[in-house]
Structure formats: C-alpha cells, structure tokens
Amino acid sequence: MTNFTPLHNNVLVKRIEEESKTAGGIYIPDTAKEKPSQGEVIAVGAGDVKDGSVIPMTVKTGDRILFGKWSGTEVKLDGQDYIIMKETDILGIMK
C-alpha cells in the first residue's frame, strides 16, 4: 500500500496484469502485450465540488474497474506503478 490520498475526484489505481497465455496455451511475450485496461482502486478522493457542495465518489477502495486505454497519468509511488485518473475516466465497476 501507499501513503497517498488523491484530491477531489481523482482515483489511484493499480493495473491488474492479464494472463500471458492465450486460451489455446500460447504464451504472449511482454513486447507484444497491450497494457491492461483493468485495475484495482487503491485510494479515492473526497469527491467533486459543484456549487459549493461535495458530490461523493461512486467507486471505493478495493473496486475492480475497467478504464480507457489512454486514461490517467502513470506514476511511481513507493517503487510501485500506479495510475491517477479522474473518476469520469472509469468506464465501469466489474462484479
């Protein structure tokens, strides 16, 4: 874990790595893999401020989410790779 708290409607996400093997048993080399577009929410901000009131966040810590391919900003915190993105960049919560 990290000692980082996003501000406002920002979310700290850790990518979830996908399988490096296809359903047919073929291994995919790292150079041919696309960056995964699934992640786990590590930390969330308090929410967006509109007209003086705070709109609470929809996602919460621990949610598994799907996000756009080019969403957010990649950062390294405590030696780990994370993405900081706005909640509006999140496409949905996986169940």
For 61-67, what is the mean pLDDT? 95
In a domain, 3, yes or no: no
How would you classify the pairing of strands 38-44 and 10-15?
antiparallel
Q: What is residue 89's DSSP assignment?
A: G
Provide the pLDDT confidence category of residue 89 given band limits of 50, 70 and 90: very high
In a domain, 4, yes or no: no
Residue range(s) defining the domain that contains residue 89? 10-94
For the chain, the domain total comes to: 1
- What does pTM read for this prediction? 0.80
pLDDT reported for residue 77: 93
Q: CA nearest 91: which of 62, 61, 60, 69?
A: 69
pLDDT tens digits along 4-62: 999 999 999 999 876 666 667 776 665 555 666 899 999 999 999 889 899 999 999 99
In a domain, 28, yes or no: yes
pLDDT reported for residue 95: 86
Identify the CATH number of the domain in which residue 73 sits. 2.30.33.40
pLDDT reported for residue 64: 96
